[in-house]
Structure 1
Amino acid sequence: MTTNITDLTSIRDEIVDEIPDALSVSRVTFEGPRLIIYTETPRKFAERGDIIGHLASTFRKRITIRPTAESRLSPDDARSRILDIVPDDAGITNIEFYPDTGEVLLEAEKPGMAIGRRASTLQEITEDVGWTPEVLRTPPIESSTVANVRSFLTQERAERQELLEDIGKRIYRTPSQDTEWVRVTTLGCCREVGRASFILSTPETRVLIDCGDKPGAEGEVPYLQVPEANPIADLDAVVLTHAHLDHSALLPLLFKYGYDGPIYTTAPTRDLMGLLQLDYLDVAVKEGRVAPYESEMVREALKHTITLDYGDVTDIAPDIKLTLHNAGHILGSAVAHFHIGDGLYNVVFSGDIHYRDTRLFNGASNDFPRVETLFMESTYGQDGDYQTDQEDSERRLYELISETHDKGGKVVVPSFAVGRSQEMMLVLEEGMREGTIPTMPIYLDGMIREATAIHTAYPEFLRDGLKQRILHEDDNPFLADQFQQVDGGEEMREDIASGEPCIILSTSGMVTGGPIMSWLELLAPDPKNTLVFVGYQADGTLGRQIQSGQREITLDKGRGGADRVELRFDVESVSGFSGHSDRNGLENFVRSMNPRPEEILCVHGDERATDQLSSALYRKLNLRTVAPRNLETFRLV
């Protein structure tokens, strides 16, 4: 890797030439993709709000203004002034000062009021106290994950600042080679679902996209040992499309192998990633398996994460810009657009997408400045993979719940903690609120409550109407009285199983472990009960076996013990709630893309799904298509 670094002294001189004489610049540095300008006149910068936009446009970089120590009030004086400036209705719950950077973090129940119209309150804070304010939302539902992530990043702030400066130097180094070609190597998720991973390469740069496990297939991990991925320590960047374990589970392993660079993703994905990875380790221990990495590596991954908002165009290497777009799949999920070279080539990785709006999210974005090649998920890409219309799906779910309730039974729904559970919560809350189904307890087992709390911390990533309800109408459906956390362990589960009719949402979504195994044992013997699948069941999982008709299963009890369980309850599947687009949605995503790609590689689906989707897109849209295998390298230009 070249060590030639853009001359910061020259950049400082150019900035000084661009700004009025009344504004000072004491130092400039890079922190990750941001250009940081330290000034002794932060108040004057705040008064001239147009200056930052002008500098960002001139230097084509994201810019942050920070005050020097001499230019700001003491934390005690600044705190009292901030509380005078910010309206009481904003609900400030915490104020943290960071003297090393001159930033002040405000946590507020209503961050919009703390920010002010067109950031007027933030500007007033800077003008009055000199500190640079940042505002975060206080989750309406207490989240240990959000609190722990924020606390950890606070503790690591000084080390993280040093890390970001090093990353910035790498991003803005002088390229040692011209970008004459672009290649992608498939390290996983080709002709299979799971272990998503790709290497995007140029003569100058190597970027890893996703690094997940394979559900129901212990030991099948991405092919990180191949030459295209090594040395892992010299990767320029990692991009994570979303937090599901088949995309994120093995990211901490990179740090075990010496990687010390950035992970780019959205803020909610960062938090969910930490939650799911720690649970991944916990499940491995409970099942007697050797975990692939220690929990310390999860914290290392969090420390190296750089969060981006949808639509931010961000330099991640000397010859690559990244933009994340809404994927509509789960909270914070992203379609990743890579602009390579000086207009040389554009590649899009869809991640997992849901093209139409759902109750929870706006549909996936497919409008890009340019795109030549698309790597497209194909989970439901087979001929005949058509999901029921969402209204029909909800109607069928309501019927099953009412029928089971009338029999005196219980409905158990295996559900992914992130995404499907929150979608189910919205459907059930509305059904009970409107009297479509009887009001009864809805028990949340596993990580569902914690994942829901993270959703409430980031309502700006939710569907427009839901965001409006939460932010402006003070109507948060996730706080409905019916939702109750299962926090009493096996004894509480037994009480629920022997009690009145209810609904249980339980992890894991593919019945590969977790509390759903207890619910199978407790509820399966009673034919009055109903098991309802609402999400994808991958090949090789117990969920797929049950869905396919198996009515006697073995439940692993640990320490070599196992029980045979006869499934006497009803087993139903209701499509239409998946976080993935069906065959029509996948075709429509491509058909309406602006611009339409020249070539599509169909990945993240079993062999039939990738082959059939690839063939259909070729026939119907006259596009070059490929259904690649793992360990293939494609030269794109």
Structure 2
Amino acid sequence: MTIDDVLNELRAKIADKLPKGITISGLEFEGPELVIYTTEPRAFADNGDIIRSLAKDLRKRIVVRPDPKMLLDAEQAIDKIKQIVPAESGLSDFYFDPDTGEVIIEAEKPGLVIGRHGSTLREITKHIGWTPKVVRTPPIESKTVKDIRQYLRTVKDDRKQILKTIGRKIHRPVSTKDQWIRVTTLGGCKEVGRSSFLLSTPETRILIDCGVNTGAESNGTPYLYVPEVSPLSSIDAVVITHAHLDHCGIVPLLFKYGYEGPIYATPPTRDLSALLQLDYIEVANREGKRPPYDSALIREALKRTITLNYGDVTDIAPDVRLTFYNSGHILGSAIAHFHIGEGLYNVAFTGDFKYEKSKLFDAAVNNFPRVETVIMESTYGGMHDMQPARREAEIEIQQVIKQTLARGGKVLIPTFAVGRSQEVMIVLEEAIRRGIIDNVPVYLDGMIWEATAIHTTYPEYLNVELQDMIFHKGQNPFLSPSFVQVDSPQKREKILADPSPCIVLATSGMMNGGPVMEYLKTYGHDRRNTLIFVGYQAEGTLGRRIQKGWNELPMSVGGKTEIMKINLQVTTVDGFSGHSDRRQLMEYVKRMDPRPERIITNHGDENKCLDLASSIYKKYKLETKSPMNLETIRLI
């Protein structure tokens, strides 16, 4: 049976189930979705249960789009939307996508655009043809998000063809009756960095993560030249768990060497990945290194990225369905759950996860419909890798800052732009609002402001309490007047010359470059000041040396190397990590429902991966394995 035969069969089934008077003008697979085109979008809009019923019966992700000739001109559509939607909704912008027949409507009060049980949305669809999607107006505009949306509009024709090609490949008939599943470790095993796995069946090859170890002199990229992944054009899909470079940093390079398939990620992961990948090549150029790819390949990756929200069950191959679940690590980070065959096997890749509720995110999900094998991180998997509770960490950082400000000092906090920065920002905002620490300016230097803007674009990915605060109480902690963006070298110089107490959050988190170094050079000699580490400091980094107690450091000043004395107070506040500690890792497995048959540990130093695997086996009597890179494990 050909793919056209499959479509004809589906068309007949759909036509048979549609109420009288409703017809379809076209049917096509576009990416993972089965797209129904119709000249009667109003009829579908009036019968909201039709699509749900079809999706259930056909077991496909179905979307209805108006026949292109039914779409109202964009300007006329905007006028019509404004007539239908109450003025107090605060409409702010519209993004029309001819590729999908969708219009994204930005509004300060999305609920008024949606209407009771979606009534206003259905009314909009009736009058303009376009399918409306409503999002809240971001309180901080993100240049990254705006640029990505604009770029995707300019490549809409290419993308349309790409989605059709991908769709036909996904929904092709299964060609073999053989049943086996294997996982090949390509990076990130018994090490931290360059995470990458290949999930294989007789029908399909899926790459999960493709990271880079930015600090490695050698072996910084996954083993992408081995037979299991060669040629790259034979890979069906790439799935990205989250946006940190050790999980997504080398993805654009795939397109240089023949990969032409889709990338699956959550919407925040898509945007944050582009932000961090662009910064990666910029830093490499600045340091005189040759970056592995250029911005054109990042755009190619964006063009082929298909975004999925948490909980969306999606066909990504003839025999594989993917579902993303919250992993609690950073914005949009996901546990990737694969359902293989018709109930044959289920495997979950945790990526990096936090099994504890934080100021930003709910705890990682560990309840799945089914799961036989779990491949989980072990960053803090060692016997003694215990972190204080998040609340204890919050109290500690507040006390250290309070003491520093009281003696007229400044606080310098090196942070990663994505995740820890926003976590610390919320703690500082609350402390200032409650009068726990003085109301001093909190300067944000590096990519922190742009990363925060992306957080405000996707508030639905934040925890329930934070959403309630933003949506219902009108309090957005990211908008505190205490936060000041450092958007130029001139502003930084002004801050450095100002003797007043302040707090500075600056990248990079391990002090191996970035704006934080300028502050260290100025603040390092003064005993009144404090340097607070809130994130992991890898061996070999400047941050780790300072953490170990080095008080004399070679620094480049005006092109010359000088020895700088470190006199400021150095404090490490554990508990802000986006990774689970040993106790949480064990608890995650203990409370997993259903209970898996096998646990495979990765993403940790060798002793931590082995220790965690051994402890899980002894305590829970589960089969465990801690593989090396380049091993292939047969699951069934």
TM-score, structure 1 normalization: 0.97
**Which residue number corresponds to residue 634 of structure 2?**
635
Q: State the identity %.
A: 54
For the pair 1:373 / 2:373, whether they are aligned, the reply is: yes
Residues 98 and 605 (structure 1 numbering): CA distance in 2 closer, same or farther, change over 3 Å? closer
Partners of 1:6 and 1:172 within 8 A in 2? no
Q: Does 1:412 align with 2:412?
A: yes
Query: Where do residues 300-449 of structure 1 align in structure 2 (5 Å cutoff)?
Result: 300-449=300-449
1:170 maps to what in 2?
169
Q: Deviations over 1:302-356 (max 9, x none)?
A: 1111111111110000010000000000000000100111111111100101111
* Distance of aligned partners of 1:101 and 1:311 in 2 relative to their CA distance in 1, 3 Å threshold: closer
> CA, structure 1 residues 492+69, in 2 after alignment: closer, same or farther (shift >3 Å)?
closer
Query: Secondary structure of the residue that 1:7 maps to in structure 2?
Result: helix
Counterpart amino acid of residue 122 in structure 1: L
d(CA) in 2 for partners of 1:488 and 1:249?
Answer: 27
Shift of 1:402: 1.2
Aligned mates of 1:129, 1:172 — CA distance in 2: 31
**Distance in 1 between the 2:278 and 2:562 partners?**
28
Q: Check 1:16–1:430 CA distance in 2 against 1; reply closer, same or farther (3 A cut).
A: same
Q: Is the 8 A contact 1:497 1:523 kept in 2?
A: no
Task: Give the SS at the match of 2:596.
Answer: coil
1:157 is matched with which residue? 156
CA contact (8 A) 1:332 1:461 kept: yes
Alignment-derived partner of residue 480 in structure 1: 480
Trace 1:9-24 onto structure 2 (pairs within 5 A).
Answer: 9-24=8-23
**Structure 1 gap segments, 5+ residues each:** none
Partners of 1:250 and 1:569 in 2: how far apart? 38
Question: Residue type of the partner of 1:534?
Answer: V
Instruction: Please tell me whether the aligned partners of residues 6 and 173 of structure 1 are also in contact (alpha carbons under 8 angstroms).
Output: no
The 2-side partners of 1:6 and 1:523 are apart by 70
Report the counterpart of residue 456 of structure 1 in structure 2. Answer: 456
Alignment partners' CA distance in 2, 1:375 and 1:455: 28
In 2, distance between residues paired with 1:8 and 1:528? 71
Question: After superposition, what is the alpha-carbon deviation per residue over 1:124-155, rounded to whole angstroms, capped at 9, x for unaligned?
Answer: 11122322222233311011011111111111
Q: Deviations over 1:436-458 (max 9, x none)?
A: 11110100010001000110111
User: Is the CA contact 1:331–1:461 (under 8 Å) kept in the aligned structure 2?
Assistant: yes
Conservation of the 8 A alpha-carbon contact between 1:327 and 1:364: yes
Q: 1:368 is aligned with what amino acid? A: F
- State how far apart, in whole Å, the 2-side matches of 1:497 and 1:396 are: 28
Equivalence for 1:107: 106
1:551 aligns with 2:542: no
Q: Is the 8 A contact 1:209 1:239 kept in 2?
A: yes
Task: Give the number of equivalent residue pairs.
Answer: 635
2:291 corresponds in structure 1 to 291
Aligned pair in 2 of structure 1 residues 101, 316: CA closer, same or farther (>3 Å)?
closer
Partner of 1:244 in structure 2? 244
The answer as to whether partners of 1:445 and 1:504 remain within 8 angstroms in 2 is: yes
Separation in structure 2 between the aligned mates of residue 204 and residue 317 of structure 1, nearest angstrom: 8
Farther off after superposition, 98-107 or 263-272: 98-107
Given that 1:5 and 1:172 are in contact with CA atoms closer than 8 Å, whether structure 2 keeps it comes out as no
| Aligned residue type for 2:93 | N
1:588 aligns with 2:587: yes
Q: Which moved more, 1:113-122 or 1:429-438?
A: 113-122
Q: 1:554 to 1:59 in 2, by over 3 A?
A: farther
Matched, 1:53 2:49: no
Q: Contact 1:5/1:173 (CA < 8 Å) preserved in 2?
A: no
1:624 maps to 2:623? yes
Q: CA deviation at 1:100?
A: 5.4
1:246 aligned partner, one-letter code: D
Aligned-partner residue type, residue 513 of structure 2: G
Q: Tell me if structure 1 keeps the 8 A contact 2:98–2:156.
A: no
Q: Where does residue 262 of structure 2 map in the other structure?
A: 262
Alpha-carbon distance in 1 for matches of 2:544, 2:627: 25
> 1:558 offset after TM fit, Å?
9.4
Describe the superposition over 1:53-92 as per-residue Cα deviations: whole angstroms up to 9, x where unpaired. 0111111111111112444444443322211111222222
User: SS at 1:65's partner residue?
Assistant: strand
The letter for the 1-side match of 2:165 is D
SS of the residue corresponding to residue 452 of structure 1 reads helix
How far did 1:179 drift?
4.8
Quote the offset at 1:6 in angstroms. Answer: 5.4
CA contact (8 A) 2:440 2:501 kept: yes
Whether 1:77 aligns to 2:76 is yes
Q: 1:405 to 1:377 in 2, by over 3 A?
A: same
- How far apart in 1 are the matches of 2:302 and 2:89? 29
Q: Deviations over 1:136-180 (max 9, x none)?
A: 333110110111111111111221111111110010011222351
Q: Distance in 2 between matches of 1:218 and 1:491?
A: 34
- Relative to structure 1, the CA distance from residue 157 to residue 556 in structure 2 (aligned partners, 3 Å threshold; closer, same or farther) is farther
* AA at the equivalent of 2:202: P
For residue 213 of structure 1, report the CA deviation from its aligned partner.
1.2
State the Cα distance separating 1:420 from its structure 2 match: 0.5
**Matching residue of 1:572:** 571
Is the counterpart of residue 281 in structure 1 residue 291 in structure 2? no
Q: CA deviation at 1:619?
A: 1.2
1:219-262 CA distances to partner (integer Å, 9 max, x unpaired)? 41111111111111221000000001111111101111121111
Counterpart Cα distance in 2 of 1:355 and 1:34: 32
Q: Distance in 2 between matches of 1:593 and 1:27?
A: 44
Residue 4 of structure 1: how far off its partner (Å) = 5.4
Q: Hey, what's the Cα distance between the residues in 2 that align with 1:448 and 1:100? A: 33
Distance change in 2, residues 1:156/1:107 (3 Å): farther
Does the alignment pair 1:203 with 2:233?
no
**Distance of 2:274 and 2:106 partners within structure 1:** 21
Q: Measure the CA separation in 1 of the matches of 2:480 and 2:572.
A: 26
CA contact (8 A) 1:126 1:133 kept: yes
Letter in 1 for 2:541: T
Q: Deviations over 1:21-51 (max 9, x none)?
A: 2101111001111110001111111111110
My pick for the range that moved more, 214-223 or 48-57, is: 214-223
Matching residue of 1:131: 130
Q: Any conservation in 1 of the 2:496–2:522 contact (CA below 8 Å)?
A: no
Aligned partner of 2:469 in structure 1 is: 469
Q: 2-side partners of 1:261 and 1:449: how far apart? A: 32
The equivalent of 2:62 in structure 1 is 63
In 2, the alpha carbon distance for the partners of 1:175 and 1:279 equals 41
- Measure the CA separation in 2 of the matches of 1:21 and 1:495: 70
Q: Is the 8 A contact 1:6 1:174 kept in 2?
A: no
Measured at CA, do residues 608 and 101 of structure 1 come closer, stay the same or move farther in structure 2, by a change above 3 Å?
closer
- In structure 2, the CA distance between the partners of 1:373 and 1:98, relative to structure 1 (3 Å rule), is closer
Distance between the aligned counterparts of 1:555 and 1:317, measured in 2?
52
In structure 2, distance between residues paired with 1:63 and 1:251: 29
Please list the CA deviations of residues 271-312 of structure 1 after superposition, one character each: whole Å capped at 9, or x if unmatched.
101111000111001111000001111111111111111111
- Counterpart code for 2:400: L
**Could you tell me how far apart the structure 2 residues matched to 1:153 and 1:563 are?**
48
2:126 corresponds to 1:92: no
Shift of 1:576: 0.8
After superposition, the C-alpha distances for 1:103-131 in whole angstroms (9 at most, x for unaligned) are: 33322233333222332221111122322
Q: Which deviates more from structure 2 when the two are superposed, residues 180-189 or residues 535-544?
A: 535-544
Deviates more, 1:424-433 or 1:220-229: 220-229
Structure 2: where are the runs of 5+ without partners? none
For residues 341-393 of structure 1, what are the alpha-carbon distances to aligned partners after superposition, in whole Å with 9 as ceiling and x for unaligned?
Answer: 11111111001011110011000000001111111101111111111112211
Once residues 421 and 604 of structure 2 are traced to their aligned partners in structure 1, the CA distance between those partners, rounded to angstroms, is 23
With normalisation by structure 2, the TM-score equals: 0.97
Amino acid at match of 2:241: T
